[in-house]
Amino acid sequence: MPNMKVVDMAGKEVGTMELSETVFGANVNSAVLHTAVKAYLANQRQGTQSTLTRTEVSGGGKKPWKQKGTGRARQGSTRAPQWTHGGVALGPKPRCYRITMNKKEKQAALFGAMSAKVAENEMIVVDAISATSYKTKAMVAMLNALGAEKKALIVLPAVDPVVVKSCANIPGVKTTVYNAVNVYDILNCDKFIVAKEAVEKIEEVYAK
């Protein structure tokens, strides 16, 4: 069972905690992680891009010139793709890019992502993450104390508007709650910062 030291917002060690072997000590399946990341990015696409084909562009009902005898190439409509103001050939149309994963795959990917962060010493458990006022400076000081100067994902046990807004202007920093973490955000961050209460709730929800 993995052990993790617990620090405060100043980076000082205040204790230790045992992590669930199921959630934070799982096998890391790179193929499942790849599928999860690909699915996440694909599912962000709206797929609403659209172009007009020759049948959808207004006009062009009249044949430009007669079929034979002009010396020019035969044309049936001025809205064919080769004409200016004509329709688009083989252009994009609205479609769904969604990729689905079953429940076991999603769980394996999530456990694998969190276990990878533990194995690589990129997970930091903080005793409590809070802020008394809307101050970005306080959150920057915490990140510097924790050695998270680059991209960081902060996981809270519940939505805290003060912490969320205090982190909003910090480049590369994202905040979320324990039940909304996803594989892409975990793998995309350099430091996975989780409040102790959030760790307990993650284990309570997922380690069943």
Separation of alpha carbons 183 and 37, rounded Å: 7
Q: In the prediction, which pLDDT does 15 show?
A: 87
Domains of the chain: 3-44+101-206 (3.40.1370.10), 46-96 (no CATH)
Residues 6+ apart with CB under 8 A from 128: 8, 9, 195, 196, 197
| Residue 110 · residue 206 · CB < 8 Å | yes
> Residue written as tokens 């969190």?
114
pTM summary value: 0.82
Residues 6+ apart with CB under 8 A from 156: 129, 163, 164, 175, 176, 177, 178, 195, 198
What are the residue ranges in the chain where pLDDT is below 70?
Answer: 1, 208
How far does the chain reach from its first CA to its final CA, in angstroms? Answer: 16
Express each pLDDT in 82-123 by its tens digit.
999 999 999 999 999 999 999 999 999 999 999 999 999 899
Separation of alpha carbons 158 and 164, rounded Å: 11
Q: In the prediction, which pLDDT does 11 show?
A: 84
